[in-house]
Structures are given as structure tokens and as C-alpha cells.
Chain A
Amino acid sequence: MKEMLDTALSSENTILIQKTLRSGQSIKHSGNVVILGDVNPGAEVVAGGHVVVMGAVRGMVHAGAFGDENATVTAFCLNPIQLRICNYITRIPDGNHPEPTEPETARIINQGIVIENISLQGNRLF
């Protein structure tokens, strides 16, 4: 998580959105997008690079929208209606599912979108 944040934040072309995106709101950006809030159902984020959401993703996120297969989507609660990375699309299965309780990252592995749990455990320096 920290690593991801560092890359996203240190990259030149990153924007910071300090609010929750509500239904009908949309962010389009050529680089990375960091959101301090949630992405609600009906809202969308389209980024050329990575997307990091310090909150819940319940809407649509598209990372690497202009062809970057290495783009990732990271969120504290990754529960999108639909998730896109580069040319890949995945959607939540039909039916009711419990929301994830731990941060996760989605990335392309072997021609498919894979969601990995990221551990926040480890050393903390004060």
C-alpha cells in the first residue's frame, strides 16, 4: 500500500481529489488519481495511470485508460460495480457479496484483472 502510494504520489502527473465522488460525477485525468474519499455507485474515475482511493470504491474505476497495462487500482474497500484496467473489464458477480474489509489492489496478471489483498502490517516508525 505504502509503496503504491509513493509511486502514485511521486509521479509527476498526479492529481489529488479531496472529496467523495457522488453518482453522476466523473474525474478524467491523463495521469494518476488519488482520491481522499469514496467513489459512489454511478460515479466514475478514468485515469491514464494508477488510481488510489483512500476510501471505498463502489462505482466505476478505469485505470490505464490509454493503454497502460501496468496501471493498478488500490482502495481501502474495493467493491466496484465495474473495474477496468487498460482494455480489460471485470464486474462484480451477480448477487449479494460482503464488502471487503481490507485494502486491496487490482492489476493485470496473465491477461486478466486480479485483486490482491495488501497487508498493512509491518513496521511503523514514529
Chain B
Amino acid sequence: MGEVLVITSGKGGVGKTTATANIGTGLALMGKKIVMVDTDIGLRNLDVVMGLENRIVYDIVDVVQGNCRLKQALIKDKRFENMYLLPAAQTKDKTAVSEEQMKNLSDNLKTEFDYIVIDCPAGIEQGFKNAIAGAEKAVVVTTPEVSAVRDADRIVGLLESSGLREPKLIINRIRPQMVKKGDMMSMEDIIEILAVDLLGVVPDDESVVVSTNRGEPAVMDKASRAGQAFRNISQRITGEEIPLMNLEANSGWLEKIKRWVTKS
């Protein structure tokens, strides 16, 4: 039985889709059979980030409405045998699927895949509710900004009241230089507020922009710092104990975070 993981944030544009693409690809690189599910109906992006847009024939709405079989809508990635995408619909809206339908969909996918990684839309409305309906574990993405952390906190609360306890945190787009100068919230500040386990820290990295435009997630690029961070995150998801990389932690914190990671 596979594991259903939702990538969520509350605030828009903090890196949910980037994280989904990279974690999905990272898990596939480790030989896991995975499917990424785009639930951002009406504003789909994951297909573009994965470079699979031109292969879409059916989408998630077609599946739940019975216009096609689930297998027909799954797009097999050209680069990995074991990686699939279930795209969102672009010309519909969030009300085109229900929480019940999402739950059934996740249950179906679980019998086929090791990991189901769900890309959640921004916000706390229907789209969010759909995305988390079938999930068993949640990953909250935030950037080191007060507003993003505020929204992440709201999301953690909503996740907990929906039974998704102990969500894990990814801090994205951190800039160590700015943190050092005191111009950016540190990991310490963020964890202090959110009080959740840290899954990883991803640096702000130009290679993410390049890889996004190319349709090749940064994890596939050995030289990418962000790619390395996402490879580590993928490994932690499978239960491996990977210490935070240098830039992920400033020394004093390393040990403390190691303990958090191993505890989970």
C-alpha cells in the first residue's frame, strides 16, 4: 500500500509545485513507483514544470466524472519508467471534483504506487479541502517571510483539525547571506513559531528557474544546490536519516535539527 502525501502552504507562490515536482522526481530517482497529482484545477502548472504538457489527453476531472479510466489519464514520464502524472483540468474550476471523489481516487492510486504526491492549490477553500481529502501525510512549504509563515501556521491548524497530524515543514528560498545579516527570518525563528518537524531547507537558487522553464526538475541536475536539498528531502521521506546540508543549517542548529529529523 502506498503513502499519500500532500504538499500545501496556504500562501501562493512559495514553491508547492516546485516541491511536488522535485520530491516526486527525487523519489522516482530512488526507484520508487510514484504518481504526482495536480489538484490546482483551473491553474494547472505541474505538467509544465514536468515538461509533460503536450501529452495531456485526459485529466483528473475526466477521471472523477467517469469520462475515462484512471489508467488512461495517467501520463507516463518519458525519463523514468516508474513516474506518472495525473494532470489537473485547465478549463474547469475547483468545484468540478469533491472531497469524496478525491478520497476514492487516492485509495485507488494507493494500490498501484509507492508514493502519491499531491500538489495543492494556494488558499484554504475547496481546492485545499480536495487536495487533503485523501492524504495521510502533509508537507507544509513556507518561505522565510512573515506572511508566508503566518499562512503556514493557519494551514498547520487546519491540517490538524482534519486529522492530518504532525505535518512536516519545508523552508524554501532561504538566502543564508540575508539570514546572517538579520534581513531574513532564520530557520530558528520559523520553527519557533510553527513548532513542527523540519523536513528540509531549500536555498533560493537560480537553477530552479532554469529547470522549471526546461521542464526538468532541479533534482535531476547534480550541480544544483536546490536539487541536492530536494534529493535529501526525498530520502528523508523514505525514512532515511540524512543530515541537513551545510547551507541548510548554520552550525549550532545542525545537531538540534538532526534530532528533529531522526525523531520523525
Contact yes or no, A94 B51, CB < 8 A: yes
A91 to B234, CA, bound (A): 32
Tell me which of A24, A81, A82 contacts B42 (CB under 8 A). Answer: A24
Closest to A93 in B: B54
Judged by DSSP, the binding face of A is: loop
Tell me which of A25, A41, A44, A89 contacts B53 (CB under 8 A). Answer: A41
Residues of A within 8 A of B54 (CB): 81-82, 91-92, 94
A43 to B90, CA, bound (A): 8
Closest to B215 in A: A94
Contact yes or no, B91 A44, CB < 8 A: yes
A23 to B78, CA, bound (A): 25
Contact yes or no, B90 A42, CB < 8 A: yes
Given the known interface contacts A82-B54, A91-B55, the answer about A24 and B91 at a Cβ–Cβ threshold of 8 Å is yes
Judge if B56 is at the interface, Cβ distance under 8 Å.
yes
A44 to B43, CA, bound (A): 14
**Number of chain A residues close to chain B: CB under 8 A:** 14
Residues of A within 8 A of B44 (CB): 42
A94 to B216, CA, bound (A): 12
Contact yes or no, B90 A94, CB < 8 A: no
Judge if B210 is at the interface, Cβ distance under 8 Å.
no
Closest to A28 in B: B91
A113 to chain B, nearest CB (A): 14
Contact yes or no, B51 A23, CB < 8 A: no
Given the known interface contacts A41-B53, A82-B56, A89-B57, the answer about A25 and B91 at a Cβ–Cβ threshold of 8 Å is yes
B10 to chain A, nearest CB (A): 23
A66 to chain B, nearest CB (A): 15
Judge if A26 is at the interface, Cβ distance under 8 Å.
yes
Q: What residues of chain A have their CB less than 8 Å away from a CB belonging to chain B?
A: 23-26, 41-44, 81-82, 89, 91-92, 94
Give the top 10 A-B pairs by smallest Cβ distance, nearest first: A91-B54, A26-B91, A81-B54, A42-B90, A24-B90, A82-B54, A81-B53, A92-B54, A24-B91, A24-B42
